[in-house]
């Protein structure tokens, strides 16, 4: 189970039960989602976020569509499509929706069973990524203990039901007694690092400090981090990786300073249909997140913005990609399409 004592997202009594991440850290509130429009709204407003988590949410969303619209109807198809298209960058959402729809000829029971399989695979994946990532970090840094890991956005149980991706590695290091400190970027504009990652680190009892986004590259250059650990929303065949905006600048700083840069994501985040990072659609989330915060206007009225939610880190800046089935050492010339799972 997660640090909450319950999974951050699950199917309970015929509905999706999820932590409302927009309310953290002030309060822990659970949402009970019973309709597809409510699920789409929850994904859009980031009540649930993180590539693996929205993949699981999308899988259970197909179950909701089957329950409310009936399998095989035009209304079912329309509901499923509305889920699939809710957020374009993270491949897990569309991939898991399509996977569950593929068994819809078997009816609602088959759909629910496949959605549970998606959830269960992500639970296992988080443990495997934590173990493999912790082993790799000890190897490439030459530090079996007293490790300092810097991370961006939120990649813990909130983003993947339990434990997480990059934060699962940090949790495993902490549990092994190897973590000196985690350094979390606040992650503008919605502060997922400050609101969510710091909350999860505090609950797991891990030593950590929080920094503003723009301090990350400077602190890397000053030797404050032994490794950079990030998640991913989509990984192209050549290893280019889309992740939260600000990740690319960390990778540049890491390369300049000789610090390993490691991406941690389940196999489900690798998109073999996307050749290179330039083919990844980057979600632009509009003005409000930039000109307002917490209901307070922070810029003059009428200010226009550019608000990409993600950026793409080129594969040549990535030391390794850790998944639940393999470690691909891009720094050694290994490639995703040639290294066995």
pLDDT at 19 over 60: yes
Region of 142 please: left (phi>0), alpha (psi -120 to 50) or beta.
left
pLDDT at 2 over 80: no
pLDDT for residue 295: 84
Tell me which CATH code domain 9-121 carries.
Answer: 1.20.120.420
pLDDT-wise least confident of 6-10, 121-125, 159-163, 262-266: 6-10
- Nearest Cα neighbor of 184 from 158, 216, 161 is 216
pLDDT at 4 over 80: no
pLDDT at 3 over 60: no
Residue with tokens 């929706």: 97
The pLDDT tens digits of the residues spanning 36-91 come to: 999 999 999 999 999 999 999 999 999 999 999 999 899 999 999 999 999 988 88
For the residues 161-169, what does the mean pLDDT come to?
A: 96
pLDDT for residue 90: 82
pLDDT for residue 123: 94
For the residues 153-172, what does the mean pLDDT come to?
A: 96
Mean pLDDT value across the chain = 95
The pLDDT tens digits of the residues spanning 177-193 come to: 999 999 999 999 999 99
CA atoms within 13 A on the CB side of 242: 28
Burial grade of 125 (CB within 10 A; 0-12, 13-18, 19 or more): buried
Tell me which CATH code domain 127-332 carries.
Answer: 3.40.50.10470
Per the residue annotation, which of 213, 226, 233, 324 is the catalytic one?
Answer: 233
* pTM, entire model: 0.94
The pLDDT tens digits of the residues spanning 189-202 come to: 999 999 999 999 99
Residue with tokens 């499923």: 80
Residues of CATH 3.40.50.10470 domain(s) within the chain? 127-332
Q: Could you tell me if 180 and 144 are in contact, meaning their C-beta atoms sit under 8 angstroms apart?
A: no
pLDDT for residue 324: 96
pLDDT for residue 294: 80
More confident residue, 2 or 58: 58
The pLDDT tens digits of the residues spanning 86-119 come to: 998 888 999 999 999 999 999 999 999 999 999 9
280 band by pLDDT with thresholds 50, 70 and 90: very high
For the chain, state the CA radius of gyration.
19
Catalytic residue check, 226: no
Residues of CATH 1.20.120.420 domain(s) within the chain? 9-121
pLDDT at 164 over 50: yes
pLDDT for residue 281: 94
In sequence order, the 6+-apart residues with CB closer than 8 A to the CB of 339 are 326, 328
6 band by pLDDT with thresholds 50, 70 and 90: low
The pLDDT tens digits of the residues spanning 307-317 come to: 999 999 999 99
| d(C-alpha 28, C-alpha 24), whole Å | 6
For β-strands 179-185 and 147-151, DSSP reports them as parallel
For the residues 323-334, what does the mean pLDDT come to?
A: 97
5 band by pLDDT with thresholds 50, 70 and 90: low
pLDDT for residue 1: 40
């Amino acid at each position: 189970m997660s640090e909450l004592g319950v999974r951050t997202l699950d199917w309970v009594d015929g509905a999706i039960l999820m932590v409302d991440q927009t309310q953290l850290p002030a309060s822990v509130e659970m949402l009970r989602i019973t309709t597809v429009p409510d699920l789409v709204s929850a994904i859009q407003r980031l009540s649930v976020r993180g590539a693996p988590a929205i993949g699981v949410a999308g899988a259970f969303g197909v179950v909701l569509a089957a329950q409310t619209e009936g399998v095989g109807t035009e209304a079912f198809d329309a509901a499923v499509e509305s889920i699939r298209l809710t957020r374009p960058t993270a491949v897990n959402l569309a991939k898991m929706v399509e996977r569950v729809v593929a068994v819809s000829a078997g009816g609602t029971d088959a759909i629910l069973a496949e959605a549970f399989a998606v959830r269960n695979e992500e639970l296992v994946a988080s443990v495997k990524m934590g173990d493999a990532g912790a082993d790799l970090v000890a190897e490439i840094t030459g530090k079996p203990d007293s490790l300092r890991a810097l991370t961006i956005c939120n990649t813990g149980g909130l983003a993947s039901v339990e434990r997480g991706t990059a934060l699962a590695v940090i949790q495993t290091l902490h549990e092994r007694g190897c973590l000196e400190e985690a350094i979390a970027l606040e992650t503008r504009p919605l502060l997922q690092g400050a609101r969510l990652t710091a909350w999860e680190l505090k609950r797991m009892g891990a030593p950590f400090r929080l920094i503003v986004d723009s301090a990350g590259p400077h602190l890397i250059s000053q030797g404050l981090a032994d490794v950079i650990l990030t998640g991913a929303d989509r990984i192209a065949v050549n290893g280019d990786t889309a992740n939260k905006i600000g990740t690319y600048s960390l990778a540049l700083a890491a390369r300049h300073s000789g610090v390993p840069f490691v991406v941690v994501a389940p196999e489900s985040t690798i998109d073999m249909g996307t050749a290179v990072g330039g083919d990844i659609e980057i979600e632009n989330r509009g003005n409000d997140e930039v000109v307002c915060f917490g209901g307070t206007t922070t810029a003059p009225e009428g200010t226009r913005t550019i608000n990409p939610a993600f950026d793409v880190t080129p594969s040549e800046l990535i030391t390794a990609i850790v998944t639940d089935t393999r470690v691909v050492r891009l720094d050694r010339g290994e490639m995703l399409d040639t290294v066995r799972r």
